[in-house]
Amino acid sequence: MAQKASRVIGWSLLGLSIMGAVAEICTSWNVLSIFLGRDFALFLSFAVFHFSVSDNLCIYETLINETERYWQLISSDDLYARPFWFFLYVLSLYASFGLFLPFSYMHTYFQTSLFLYVHFTKYHVIIPHLVSWLIIPAVMTVTINVFNKICSLLTDLCRHCITEHRQMQSLPLYETIQQSLSWTICAMLTLSFTESVYLSLQYGVAHYRIMHQLSATLGFANEMLLITAISLATFHTMSAVSRHLVACCFKPLHRSYGVLHYVRSHSAFVLSVQAWGYFTVLVRSFVRGLQTTNIGQGFHLVVVNTFDKGRRNPAAYQIFKQYDAEQLPAPKKMPQETKKSDAPDWVSVFYDRIFR
């Protein structure tokens, strides 16, 4: 019975992921066809579709993991002021699903309607009803992603409060400079992208209200809570991106050796899947960049999205999850002089993440 229920849930999540990806295809095809033509845009939209389905599945998986982590910490006997942490969790739920969800819905409604009215004008009567149901999975997935990031920050803060009695070890000067630079870049990116995300949402919301002749606005408290939710979600993304970006700049030879070691030790099948996955990441990042060129964040968004989504490579991650480690081609044996301990730590972590 439990196996049947889990199978039903799995297929339901896959269906929601596909429906959410369909809504993103509408936007990507509309944007790409303007710059690249309809035929080439169709192929690239397929790459965006594959990425979106894989990324949506990763978001659902993260929701389960982050919720489990947070409730394990909040149930710990070492945690003080448990009602306060429960209040923060409920507040994050309200900010995500009560405030961000309607804004995201109105923004996505306008973007999807724009595509359908341009390419399917003869169906203008049913387009409003079609869009209303088509974008629900996509909007829900985006909202869950925002909630995951806020919940992850709460989990880290909660863990820090539990272990605050432990003394922080002093870092070497090299690592101190690296961390300071990482946090500086993170703060700058967070401020910049919080503004761009909020302005982009407001742009879509304003057009949605014109289309439906609505004039309702949020109160000051809800407006500030919405901006705070966007800021926290953006901060979570930018902190990971800035750390990865600084690490690439500070250790280029180390990274290059890791990539070379990975290429030499894996089969053509593994490398092909990885290459396709990174291609879908680049195409989707390019589309997101084109969507925000009007507010001056196009190139920045391409770089940030590439670093952010490339860390996990959702398309390759989901493909490899369908195989057992025994079914995949085994890594090639390296010469005796190249020992396992010589490989960078991130290579082994990346390998374990793929085949776990």
- Tens-binned pLDDT, residue by residue, of the chain (356 aa): 667 777 777 778 888 888 888 878 877 777 777 777 777 777 788 888 888 888 888 899 889 888 888 888 877 777 777 788 888 889 999 999 999 999 889 888 888 887 778 777 777 788 888 888 888 888 999 999 999 999 998 888 888 777 754 444 555 666 677 778 888 888 888 888 888 888 888 888 888 888 888 777 777 888 889 889 999 998 988 888 888 777 777 666 555 555 555 555 567 777 788 888 888 888 888 887 776 665 556 677 787 888 788 788 888 888 887 765 445 555 544 444 433 333 344 334 433 443 34
Report the distance separating Cα 314 and Cα 320, nearest Å.
10
Report the distance separating Cα 312 and Cα 92, nearest Å.
25
Report the distance separating Cα 140 and Cα 181, nearest Å.
35
pTM of the model: 0.79
Record the tokens describing residue 108, joined without a space: 């996505």
pLDDT of the residue at 302: 80
Q: What is the 3-class SS of the chain, one letter each residue?
A: CHHHHHHHHHHHHHHHHHHHHHHHHHHHHHHHHHHHCHHHHHHHHHHHHHHHHHHHHHHHHHHHHHHHHHHHHHCCCCCCCHHHHHHHHHHHHHHHHHHHHHHHHHHHHHHHHHHHHHHCHHHCCCHHHHHHHHCHHHHHHHHHHHHHHHHHHHHHHHHHHHCCCCCCCCCCHHHHHHHHHHHHHHHHHHHHHHHHHHHHHHHHHHHHHHHHCCCCCCCHHHHHHHHHHHHHHHHHHHHHHHHHHHHHHHCHHHHHHHHHHHHHHCCHHHHHHHHHHHHHHHHHHHHHHHHCHHHCCHHHHHHHHHHHHHCCCHHHHHHHHCCCCCCCCCCCCCCCCCCHHHCCHHHHHHHHHHHC
What does residue 12 show for φ and ψ, rounded to 5 degrees? Answer: -65, -45
pLDDT of the residue at 132: 83
Q: Do residues 285 and 313 make contact, with C-beta atoms less than 8 angstroms apart?
A: no
